[in-house]
Chains A and B, each alone.
Chain A
Amino acid sequence: MQDFSNLLDRLIYTRSRNDKLGLISAYLKKAPDPDRGWVLAALTGELDFPTVKASAVRNMAMERVDETLFRLSRDFVGDTAETVALIWSEQTDKSVVGIPTVGEIVDELASVTRADAPILLANFMDRMGSNERYALLKLATGGMRVGVSARLAKKAFAQAFDMSVEDVEEVWHALEPPYSELFSWGEGQADRPDLTGVPFFRPFMLAHPLEDRKVDLADYAAEWKWDGIRIQIVGTGQETRLFSRGGDDITRSFPDVSKAFAAVGVLDGELLVRGEYQGGEAASFNALQQRLGRKKVSAKMQNDYPAFVRLYDILFDGENDLRERSWIDRRSTLETFVPKLNTKRFDISTILDARDFDHLSEIRDCARDAAIEGVMLKRKDSPYISGRKTGLWYKWKRDPLVADCVMMYAQRGSGKRSSFYSDYTFGCWTEDGELFPVGKAYSGFTDDELRMLDRFVRQHTLNRFGPVREVEKTMVLEVAFDSVHESKRHKSGLAMRFPRISRIRTDKPAEEADRVETLKKMIS
């Protein structure tokens, strides 16, 4: 456990990606099984203890610490696990029983009941120092927050055993923690794990934002970027699974889609919801959200929010791997593949017929379908490669809408921004000259701007409500957002989708900020 907690601490304070890779791969080489496998699962976000949740950590802390003192501390630290690890009273006789290993901890966390989880955690905590306590709680509740993506962790594994990350990713999703076959393969003690007949996830190909680039449509094909959930369909003939972008298996949330797919192959597409919900952009996304979180989906849910997939690409036709082929080849395979599928659940993404780039720009500007997020540009000769590779695929989102709003409340952020007032609620003026909140944003500004806004909040506080401060209504923020829709959440009756601060308008008097009426006209 000490090795793991040292690793975590060093990762937190290490800025360079290469150094992080070095630290993780050194750990993976040296640590014993099964500890290193569990740690790899923790770093890739694949460790989950269903009966040990953040509430268990909180409840455990409440047994030992005054609630107000805990709340104030949590507000300052910005992270529950760290707060509990720091606030815990050290036991003097902790060395007697000894610090448990990662393997022992995982075994017990996996079998504990919900009711016993706080007691089990507390017993572990009493045997540890503050750094191990932190590592324990991170391990138990997930979300390491050490600036290591799942891909980086896999890369570190590849580096440790002198393999390519693509080889690791290829087998990754067919294996389960603590990945003993993977380590044996890495160490040369076993063959590559056998994956025949296993429906597993292949890493997605992703796009870079187009930004100010222009591309030649002789080389690139354009299609709509739909505002749903990117999914991969993997069918073996016996079984079909659906995976989200991160490789999470979401088959159970969408039985209507998985049951309708009996073919053999791997396809890439956008999961959308049909019906009236598709009319409103935000509603359609909300509808998807409704379904996404659920482990079991009722018939009513399937009926109210019928899902379908708009197909973009094909990775495997039967057993035939097409990923090395050009996009144009794959597209023609896709065009013959899709008509064989259930038309209620599957259709093909249309290719946009644009004369040239400027024409495409016009088409993009005129798109008023709320479920369209923008345009995708794909190089016609591009193979299907995992991750983002410059020059192959671009996403070109619709320009955001903007409004000038007035900051009303601020709240402290968490993580890197703990102690900074970084979450802002802002409003627009009503006809009667009152400010009504229209949204909340916590991104879009630089670190320097954050310091400036934080200073503004501290120096212009009118009221404090726990962690929230009400501020003088003088700071105008230009807010960019993808769309606005009706909502009961805010007094204004409006809610923004993806709001972020695009500019700080210190030059603008608050009275000149936008009106709620103006926003209402932007409802799509």
Chain B
Amino acid sequence: MGMVKSSHWIEPHPHGIYVKPADAWIDPSRAVSRALVTHGHADHARGGHEKVWATPETLAIMNLRYGTNEGQPVPYGEGIELGGVKISYHSAGHVLGSAQILMEYQGERVVATGDYKRRADPTCAPFEVIPCDIFITEATFGLPVFKHPSTDVEIQKLLSAKKAHPERCILVGAYALGKAQRVIGELRAAGYNDTIYLHGALEKMCKLYGELGVDLGDIQPVMETEKEVMRGQIILAPPSALNDRWSRRLPDPVTAMASGWMRVRQRARQRNVELPIIMSDHADWDELTQTIKDVSPTETWVTHGREDALVHWCALNQIKAKALELVGREEEDD
């Protein structure tokens, strides 16, 4: 691999990426005065910043979670200028409101992806390829063992489990922001119109999605539902609730989990999952490498995840690349 020089105006630090002329940080992991936030997941969007620029949807999510920031909304495709840096937000296809941040300064273009995926998602806008000089990509699933199967196949697994167990219920673990709504959205897209029941921790976010124009159909809180009614039904809960006392109120649940990590059997086993649903909001290996080819930057910087493998792949393909070691993101939830 050839030497890769840091651009003089953009600096990777363990706690985030610093945009020097703008005096602003991208997804900083500690409170700063000026933050550019790609999306609402907790390891990218933290509370306590003095000023935040993000898409209107991300700001709404942050307001729901932290209740504090007003923030400066920047809709997709629109730009602002900070300290001579032109900054614009473009859809990343990860979760509702997720954005790649494009920065242009003295003729150089840098894109920070935050998290992204390339597959269709009924609950958010698709990834946009933005040509640039420096491409800062995530690598959550940056190993060639990660090839997410087709979403239809995985949704059918859920539906056939439901059919096979009319006396039980199908309890699906899914992260509160993004994955839960996507699972519902994909089920709806597959023509499933029954009521879907929700753990309390998912209600607010699903409601916010509804307010932001993402229709999730008939959803009801588990809290207000009789046990008998939920037999043969699909229920969503955050992963932490799967093996929790909470699940005792459900009729003999089949434990499922929707996550890209489910691709690895022992991972699913560690989670005590009976029905692994391999569905991710991150790019898989083929999508990561395809995206680097599509964007075709002069340099690729690889952030959180399995940087080593993706950087090695770049070297094999004569693409300049380096790993940025950001803290606090060792194992991304998905």
Contact = CB atoms under 8 A, between A and B. Distances in A.
To the question of whether A and B form a pair in one complex, the answer is: yes
B330 A416 contact: no
A76 B143 contact: yes
A12 interface: yes
A82 B316 contact: no
- Residue of A12, A14, A78, A83 most packed against chain B (CB within 10 A): A12
Contacts of B6: none
A497 interface: no
Interface in B99-147: 143-147
A78 B306 CA distance: 15
The contact size tier of chain B is: 20 to 34
Interface string B139-162: 000011111000000000000000
B143 A73 contact: yes
A86 B143 CA distance: 10
Contacts of B35: none
Given A73-B145, A83-B145, A13 B276 contact: yes
A188 interface: no
B147 A66 contact: no
B309 A69 contact: yes
B266 A76 contact: no
Interface string A387-420: 0000000000000000000000000000111110
Interface stretch (B54-62, B74-82, B267-275): B267-275
Contacts of A359: none
A458 B325 CA distance: 13
B266 A14 contact: no
B308 interface: yes
Nearest to B261: A419
A9 B143 CA distance: 22
B42 interface: no
Nearest to A9: B265
Contacts of A83: 145
A453 to B, nearest CB: 15
B265 A69 contact: no
A86 B272 contact: no
B279 to A, nearest CB: 16
B147 A86 contact: yes
Contacts, number: 68
B264 interface: yes
Contacts of B274: 13-15
A329 interface: no
Contacts of A418: 264, 266-267
B312 interface: yes
A86 B270 contact: no
A504 to B, nearest CB: 20
Contact of A13 (B144, B263, B269, B316): B269
Given A13-B273, A13-B276, A66-B316, A72 B265 contact: no
A65 interface: yes
Nearest to B262: A13
Contacts of B268: 12-13
Contact of B270 (A66, A79, A87, A416): A416
Nearest to B273: A13
Interface in B201-254: none
A77 interface: yes
A82 B330 contact: no
B144 A419 contact: no
Contacts of B270: 416-417
A61 B268 CA distance: 24
Contacts of B143: 69, 72-73, 76
Contacts of A65: 144
A68 interface: yes
- Give the interface SS of chain A, mostly helix, strand, loop or mixed: helix
A416 B264 CA distance: 11
Contact of A458 (B266, B306, B316, B330): B330
A201 B330 CA distance: 51
Contacts of B273: 13
- Residue of B143, B145, B146, B270 most packed against chain A (CB within 10 A): B145
B175 to A, nearest CB: 18
A65 to B, nearest CB: 7
A12 B313 CA distance: 32
B275 A13 contact: yes
B257 to A, nearest CB: 10
Nearest to A84: B145
A342 B53 CA distance: 88
Nearest to A12: B265
B266 A415 contact: yes
A69 B267 contact: no
Interface string A73-108: 100111100110011000000000000000000000
Contacts of B266: 77-79, 82, 415-418
A313 to B, nearest CB: 39
A9 B144 CA distance: 21
Interface in A260-296: none
A319 B274 CA distance: 49
Given A69-B309, A82-B264, A416 B269 contact: yes
B269 A77 contact: no
A77 B312 contact: no
A144 to B, nearest CB: 12
Nearest to B147: A86
A76 B145 contact: yes
Nearest to B268: A13
A87 B263 CA distance: 11
A66 B144 CA distance: 10
A83 B264 CA distance: 9
A19 to B, nearest CB: 9
A68 B316 CA distance: 10
A68 B306 CA distance: 13
Contact of B309 (A72, A134, A416, A417): A72
A88 B133 CA distance: 33
Nearest to A66: B316
A28 to B, nearest CB: 21
A82 B265 contact: yes
B317 to A, nearest CB: 11
Interface in B283-334: 306, 308-309, 312-313, 316, 330-331
Contacts of A86: 145-147, 263-264
Nearest to B146: A86
B267 A15 contact: no
22 contacts: A12-B265, A13-B265, A13-B274, A13-B275, A13-B276, A66-B316, A69-B143, A69-B313, A76-B145, A78-B266, A79-B265, A79-B266, A82-B264, A86-B147, A86-B263, A86-B264, A87-B145, A134-B265, A415-B266, A417-B266, A418-B264, A458-B330
Q: Give the 7 A-B CB pairs with smallest separation, nearest first.
A: A86-B145, A72-B309, A73-B145, A418-B266, A73-B143, A13-B274, A87-B144
Given A68-B312, A69-B144, 10 more contacts: A12-B269, A13-B276, A68-B309, A72-B143, A73-B309, A76-B264, A77-B264, A79-B266, A82-B266, A458-B330
